[in-house]
Amino acid sequence: MTGTLWGCAMVNGTPPPGSAPLFQTDATDTVVLQAVHREQETLLSTCTQHRSCDQVHFTRAMVALFQNREAAAASFRESIAVAPNGPFADSSVRWIRFLANRTFQPASADEPNGALAVMKGLVRTWLGQQHAAGASVAFKNPSLVVHSLRQRIRDRDKRIAELTDQLSALKQIDSDAHRTSKLSLPRTPSQ
């Protein structure tokens, strides 16, 4: 859904101010962002079982800074909501204020010596650490990985069953249509 809205905004020339990313991505960012996003999605499904989810929401917000400022602010708010006195609450409040007061300036977002460039570097460092930590958690706690993989398999199997049912219905419709067309064709007399 977000991708569709982003695509529509780009067709019109400029993205809506709140949905624009704060930081522009490059090839290196994209690889790390995708990996951290996948890891955080896995952790989000199990974080309440093992620990508070504030760090997961905070990290998801940091990823969203490269995608959509509104989504980032929403994740920062979620981080505060699950742990109002937690270690990420103050930083989340400051990020929310910063995003709310920031006007959209795409050209200045990646100035090599600007404050945003420094912030982008710090966010990249944070995400790199989270990616490294996520990889070590996967090795230390394979049950998280197993849970995630089982969930993916269940989702995939459900989707396969839905598609199989749809294919069967389409085959039946095709068969009925073919049978009807044979019955309605006039026969030519034999000579």
CA distance 71 to 123: 16
Per-residue pLDDT for the chain (191 aa), expressed as one digit of tens each?
334 444 444 444 444 555 788 888 777 777 777 777 777 777 777 676 556 688 888 888 888 888 888 988 998 898 898 888 888 889 899 989 988 887 655 444 455 557 778 888 888 887 888 777 765 454 455 565 566 667 778 888 888 999 999 999 999 998 888 888 777 666 666 65
- 13 dihedral zone (left: phi>0; alpha: psi -120 to 50; beta): left
Domain-by-domain residue ranges, the chain? Answer: 15-103+113-140, 142-171
**Which residue blocks in the chain are alpha helix, DSSP H?**
2-11, 27-50, 54-64, 69-82, 89-101, 115-140, 142-184
Judge whether 58 and 88 are in contact, CB under 8 Å: yes
This prediction has a pTM of 0.55
